Structure 1
Amino acid sequence: MRAAHTVEQVRAAEASLMATLPDGTLMQRAAAGLATAVTDLLGGAYGRHVLLLVGPGDNGGDALFAGALLARRGASVEVLPVADRVHEAGLAAVRRAGGRVVALADLIPPDVVVDGIVGIGGRPGLRRPALDALRAVAGVPLVAVDVPSGVEVDTGRLDGAHVTADLTVTFGTHKVCHLVEPAASACGVVHLVDIGLDLPDASVTALQADDVAGLLPVPAAEAQKYTRGVVGVRAGSARYPGAAVLSTSGAACGLAGMVRYAGGAADAVRARHPEVVVGEGRVQAWVVGSGGDADAGEALAAALRDAVPLVVDADALRHLTAPLEASALLTPHAGELAAMLGVERTEVEADQLAFARRAAREYAATVLLKGHHTLIAAPNGRVRVTTTGTPWLAVAGAGDVLGGLCGALLAAGLTPYDAGSVGSWLHGAAATLASAGGPISAPDVAAALPRVIADLLR
């Protein structure tokens, strides 16, 4: 499990550990990890030109002590202060190792820039000296120390000018901004350096492959189709039969024992999936809404009458009334979530974590907010972030497959929170496998699911 802690949690853990260690030990640990990461990025330190952009805090100190280590390994290290003061001990270490302080007017293009402007205690946005320095080195590979300067660490928001890094080297734990968009995209690749922090449980996490494998519903030796769960699909319509086909494709991934279809596109479903049972009947979970068109409201009402867990997507989301009494997983994109909450789409996109949590709380349901990094928010405030996937997954019908897949996991016995988290992870991994770096379609994603699942279980 990848955990993302808040600034307050990190600060408390650092203070507790520093009380047991000699002064400066944590900074030296961070600097050593940072110097190693920069060396790896460059393919070696000797003869390389490293520029440190340094602000006044401990983040700048980490950069300076790392610069001293790089200078001792043969790098040419220059320091460009972007504040009235910098970490004095760190600057002295750089100078002793042969580094030097430079002015903006004297910059020579470096091989790499290290962003030590502000750290996790900094406010969003950047001041003029930092912006001028960043403009002067535009296009040079950039390594951020702990977090890209200028982002909102605990929310993932971007409010004002900020650094966009190629690599972020963080210490002790991931922070929320490393996982949550839009700030996550400013982090580039995130490399975690263990500095020995003892941290509490985090409310924002990201499943890893082993976690997903441990949550997958695996049939027992004596299993039969009904004990493995029956997932019902009320999706598609005469106008959008493809949504029914894609939803049942996701549901028929093999994680549930049987798929039942009740909707207005039965012929299309039969033609594609002869194993799907068409008609009303008992199910352990429903998938409702994708391509439902004018039928979506009645389909949702019928599913709610069964009093089983359900996945609500697309057209059916417009018919929800908060709070829900059913056990539900809601799967909106940003525009649909905005409509559910009566706000603008741009507001949701700018503050995804806050709005996903708000919707989960108001609707008393788990909310899966689709995006580059999909968020799965529970009513109690816990959030899982899905980081699998590929930009090629942004294709029509992919969400229909995801809804069916999550419904299969609900029918097999997972909670809405686990079903959304595991389903989203599998969906992204299947897209990556199917893509192999190129374009895909929604049926490709559904077809790749069994292979992804088999690989996890090996």
Structure 2
Amino acid sequence: MRHAHTVEQVRAAEAELMARLPEGTLMQRAAAGLAATCARLLPRVYGSRVVVLAGSGDNGGDALYAGARLARRGAAVSALLLAPERVHTGGLAALRAAGGRVTTDQGEFSRADLVLDGIVGIGGRGGLRPEAQPYAAAERRGVVVAVDVPSGVDPDSGAVPGAALRADVTVCFGTYKPGLLVDPGASYAGIVQLVDIGLALPGAGVTALQHDDLAGMLPVPTVESDKYRRGVVGVAAGSARYPGAALLAVAGALRGGAGAVRYVGTAAEEVVRRFPEVLVTEGGPAGAGRVQAWVVGPGGGDGAARALEEALASPVPVLVDADGLTELARLGPAALAGRTAPTLLTPHTGEAARLLAGATAQAPPAADELAAARLASARRLAAEYRATVLLKGSTTVVAEPTGEVRVNPTGTSWLATAGSGDVLAGLAGSLLAAGLGTLDAASAAAYLHGLGGREAAAGGGPVTALDVAARLGSAWRVVRG
């Protein structure tokens, strides 16, 4: 699992470690890891052209010391000083002693085989300053390696409030930074490599699953399992206007590890015709029989209000999506106040804005604002409704009311297609019914859904929601393999 820590946590851990180490040791550790990564990225170090973009402070010092190490291995290293009066003097002296030089020729940026972005580190806020902005738009032929965080990206939130330098690789020290895992910052970071410098850090508030984590969490039947012991997921979805939502939610639910899917709604005939293994019950959730979790809302139309009320009255986990979220926004957090079982909300940013308006009795915030501050938005919504929130988007994040967040690392822009969210809702609901908690079920569903989307879009090209559903089994096997 990837663990990400805030700037405040990193600074505290650095200060504690530096108090016990000889002066400059921590920077040398960082520079050594940075230089080693750069050496692996170059076809050969000797004779390569390397440019160091050095800002003020320790970030520029890390880059200059790394440049000195490359220069000692035969690279032709030049430094462009963005703040000459505040340059890290020790790093600059080391670079010159190793044969590197200072240049004012900005054209060297475009001619370099590798560029070290040491303009702004984790202490920076806001976009690039005017003297650095030309590099964000300049042509480049070589690899750009960001030092700890791409300059112009907020390390805690991933926000990019102005011009930023897009990296091919980001080398971060000690721990991942939240802004490297969530868009828009993640899209500027490229491949993220971690260098251990010995920091003793507290528990991470932001994490990201990897294959091994997910493999250990997915439900697997035993020799004593039957369809009921594996869990039954109830799906209340679809309407006369949106019968397809029922089919898509059921398609996702069938591939989420539960032993059976029970459907209630107006699309029963279509569901059974397409999926004969589904159990169909007339009426709403209240009379459907025993289930271990409910999925309510996809394409629910006018029936969503009744289905939501009946599902929330049950003593099992409930996932609320789409039209169910619209109804919940009208009711506000009070609708969940008496529940003893967990609730999982799966909004996109537009739905999240309506939910926040329902919680605060204020005008809805702009969806774009919520997307730009994705971590904070998901945390705020989870706190307001005292529920787990899976906020969908270019980076899907799952937030708990405690503030704990998991960032989903899988997916593809081709998943922005009609019905994709219905498949995700069914998949997550099935994992809830199979026994996973809301945080694990939401995180696992987002991960598998993202892998399924990648596989469906392999080679490039449009995909449908059913294409994604059809590949969830394959994604499951890839993770467990």
Partner of 1:338: 353
Does the Cα contact within 8 Å between 1:148 and 1:186 map onto a contact in 2? Answer: yes
Rounded Cα–Cα distance in structure 2 between residues aligned with 1:200 and 1:298: 45
2:343 to 301, 304, 328: 328
Q: CA separation of 1:228/1:105 partners in 2, compared to 1, >3 Å: closer, same or farther?
A: closer
Partner of 1:27: 27
Does the Cα contact within 8 Å between 2:135 and 2:165 map onto a contact in 1? Answer: no
TM-score, reference length from structure 2? 0.92
- Partner SS for 1:128: coil
Partner of 2:176: 174
Rounded Cα–Cα distance in structure 2 between residues aligned with 1:184 and 1:104: 30
Does the Cα contact within 8 Å between 2:256 and 2:428 map onto a contact in 1? Answer: no
Identity fraction in percent: 59
Shift of 1:390: 1.8
Partner of 1:246: 248
Instruction: Please list, as runs of the form range in 1=range in 2, the aligned pairs for 1:141-152 lying within 5 A after superposition.
Output: 141-152=143-154
Deviations 1:112-163 (A, max 9, x none): 2211011111122221111134445556532110001122111222222222
Q: CA separation of 1:426/1:133 partners in 2, compared to 1, >3 Å: closer, same or farther?
A: closer
Does the Cα contact within 8 Å between 1:104 and 1:133 map onto a contact in 2? Answer: no
Q: CA separation of 1:137/1:91 partners in 2, compared to 1, >3 Å: closer, same or farther?
A: farther
Instruction: Write the letter of the residue equivalent to 2:428.
Output: C
Instruction: Please list, as runs of the form range in 1=range in 2, the aligned pairs for 1:286-435 lying within 5 A after superposition.
Output: 286-320=294-328, 321-323=332-334, 324-325=336-337, 326=339, 327-341=342-356, 342-435=364-457
Instruction: Write the letter of the residue equivalent to 1:38.
Output: C
Q: CA separation of 1:139/1:344 partners in 2, compared to 1, >3 Å: closer, same or farther?
A: farther
Shift of 1:310: 0.9
Rounded Cα–Cα distance in structure 2 between residues aligned with 1:363 and 1:186: 32
Rounded Cα–Cα distance in structure 1 between residues aligned with 2:135 and 2:234: 58
Shift of 1:110: 1.6
Partner of 1:124: 126
Does the Cα contact within 8 Å between 1:179 and 1:385 map onto a contact in 2? Answer: yes
Does residue 110 of the first structure (1) align with residue 132 of the second (2)?
Answer: no
Rounded Cα–Cα distance in structure 1 between residues aligned with 2:444 and 2:367: 26
- Partner SS for 1:215: coil
Instruction: Please list, as runs of the form range in 1=range in 2, the aligned pairs for 1:216-295 lying within 5 A after superposition.
Output: 216-253=218-255, 255-279=257-281, 280-295=288-303
Partner of 1:67: 67
- Partner SS for 1:349: helix
Rounded Cα–Cα distance in structure 2 between residues aligned with 1:105 and 1:181: 29
Does residue 451 of the first structure (1) align with residue 480 of the second (2)?
Answer: no
Instruction: Write the letter of the residue equivalent to 2:470.
Output: A
Rounded Cα–Cα distance in structure 1 between residues aligned with 2:250 and 2:107: 63
Shift of 1:186: 1.5
- Partner SS for 2:78: strand
TM-score, reference length from structure 1? 0.96
**Unaligned 5+ residue runs, structure 1?**
none
Residues 297-306 or 366-375, more deviating: 297-306
- Partner SS for 1:420: helix
**Unaligned 5+ residue runs, structure 2?**
282-287, 357-363
Residues 49-58 or 433-442, more deviating: 433-442
Residues 431-440 or 410-419, more deviating: 431-440
Partner of 1:436: 458
Partner of 2:284: none
- Partner SS for 1:367: strand
Rounded Cα–Cα distance in structure 1 between residues aligned with 2:377 and 2:94: 45
Aligned length: 458
Rounded Cα–Cα distance in structure 1 between residues aligned with 2:79 and 2:235: 61
Instruction: Write the letter of the residue equivalent to 1:307.
Output: P
RMSD of aligned Cα (Å): 1.6
Runs of 4+ with >6 A deviation: none
Shift of 1:78: 0.5
Residues 250-259 or 298-307, more deviating: 298-307
